[in-house]
Chains A and B, each alone.
Chain A
């Protein structure tokens, strides 16, 4: 297993979950597209998060070396915090 690739895949997947969450609230057609995957937009996001995590790992495993550093984890944690804050701020502002 390539540690750097799986950490990067996790960071990008989490950013994509946040983008899909905001995008589905701003675009009815995108929300419908997500709903078409599993009958509900949340199921669509859930399925896509697993699929993208796997695919992104395969992509990053091709281009990343295996030298894993704490910095990779720092980038991931920063992505989690920014994505979480973006989701929280969006729903507070649009409630």
Chain B
């Protein structure tokens, strides 16, 4: 059975990533109402990514490290841990920092974003980077799940 923590981690992270995609869309042609919506979206994204960090971290230490990692490392797919999981768990740490910065810039510049091209473009680039990096990380999560299934299947034969 899939551990509910991994489901909560994935759902929170994906809501957070789509919230930052929402920020990109609102900031492409900003108005006062669009900036206000982008601020709400960024706050949702910020909160979801921080909760995903906490839940994913707890799962990684208490479940993955004890039950999943040993199985994967003992299988022919050990690269799934030694490359994919190692990269995922460390690159993920960039996202909360980038989410904090993007949200802070949105609130700092607020109505000025209509005329301040540098701040507006920065927010678009950063929110887009969060979305692209986040979904690359989600793809790594899918590879890790497949590696676990592979390890379970080969362990049973």
Contact = CB atoms under 8 A, between A and B. Distances in A.
B25 interface: no
A58 interface: no
User: Which secondary structure dominates chain A's binding surface?
Assistant: helix
A95 interface: yes
Contacts of B121: 70, 73
Contacts of A72: 122
A21 interface: yes
B118 A10 contact: no
B125 A40 contact: no
Given A46-B53, A91-B86, A17 B94 contact: yes
User: Which secondary structure dominates chain B's binding surface?
Assistant: helix
A4 to B, nearest CB: 11
Given A70-B122, A73-B122, A14 B97 contact: yes
Interface string A1-20: 10100110010011001100
B29 interface: no
Interface of A: 1, 3, 6-7, 10, 13-14, 17-18, 21, 39-40, 42-43, 45-46, 49-50, 53, 68-70, 72-73, 76-77, 80, 83-84, 87-88, 91-92, 94-95
